Amino acid sequence: MHDLASLWIHRRVLTSLARQDLRKTYAGTAAGVAWAVLTPLIPLLIFSAVFSLGLRLPLGRASYVYGFAAAYVPWVLLSSAITGATSSIIGHRHIVKRVPFPVEIIPAEAILVNSLPHAILVAATAIVCAVAGYGHFPEFLLIVYFYACAVVLAISAGLLLSGLTVIVRDVQQVLPSFINVWFWITPIAWAGSQLPPTGRMLLAFNPASYIVSGYRYALMPNVFAPPGRTEATVFWSMAILMLLTGSACFRRLRAHFWDCL
């Protein structure tokens, strides 16, 4: 609770840090922040073309590109935020070592940086789905809830991985492979309804599955069913456990940051 309270207490510092990193990342580029939106569009179009035109895999009762985009948008936020949070302490070593600073807010900065392009992608996907006749306004408001779920999951993983990365640098090398495997076992390029009952039960223990399924329902309620109460219970149980574990590990490892950075 102390780490969560620190995010609110130092919210202005966190916002300023995210704004500075956003400017630094896209400084000197012609498209600027637009690259944050254009970059995930390339794999989205490639996956949609391969699976819908090449392999012709089914995805609900809608065109493949819509169902895939509705689930891929939250995945971009999750994967980018967790990857950024993992290297956040190392990337801000000059702050950690030189000035008194609430170090626990640094992993959350990656979430703010990726929230801007996420909002643009969500708005664009919602408009396209609505024009195609798949969207419905009241259900669209559920995106706020599932975005909060993604933030909690990213903060939990970020606290744990950012602290471990300072001590064990191999975490940065292993993470891309883990993210790649995690993508394929999450119902993004496929639908969870295609699994047998046992498979759907096991899928509930993948926290990303709850988030992408929720986004898919919020953007396309006429096609996809919402996550059930069991999935919600399993997700929040795992998210709270991860948050407690990540916070405890971060606080214990923080004493070694000065020596390892």
> If you write DSSP's letter for every residue of 213-237 in order, what string do you get?
HHHHHHH-TTTSPPP-HHHHHHHHH
> What are the tens digits of pLDDT across the range 150-161?
999 999 999 999
10: confidence class by pLDDT, cuts 50, 70, 90? confident
Going from N- to C-terminal start, the domains of the chain cover: 2-260
Contact between 10 and 101 under an 8 Å Cβ cutoff? The reply is: no
Q: Rounded to an integer, what distance in angstroms lies between the CA atom of residue 146 and that of residue 214? A: 6
Residue with tokens 């207490």: 9
> What are the tens digits of pLDDT across the range 44-93?
778 777 776 665 666 777 788 888 889 999 999 999 999 999 988 888 77
Q: Rounded to an integer, what distance in angstroms lies between the CA atom of residue 49 and that of residue 260? A: 45
CA-nearest of 111, 150, 103 to 247 is: 103
Task: Please count the other Cβ atoms lying within 10 Å of the Cβ belonging to residue 255.
Answer: 8
Q: Rounded to an integer, what distance in angstroms lies between the CA atom of residue 197 and that of residue 119? A: 34
Hey, what are 26's tokens? Answer: 């896209």
Hey, what are 100's tokens? Answer: 């008194």
> What are the tens digits of pLDDT across the range 170-203?
888 899 999 999 999 999 888 887 788 888 889 9
Q: What is the sign, positive or negative, of the torsion defined by CA atoms of 143, 79, 26, 98?
A: positive
pTM (two decimals): 0.87
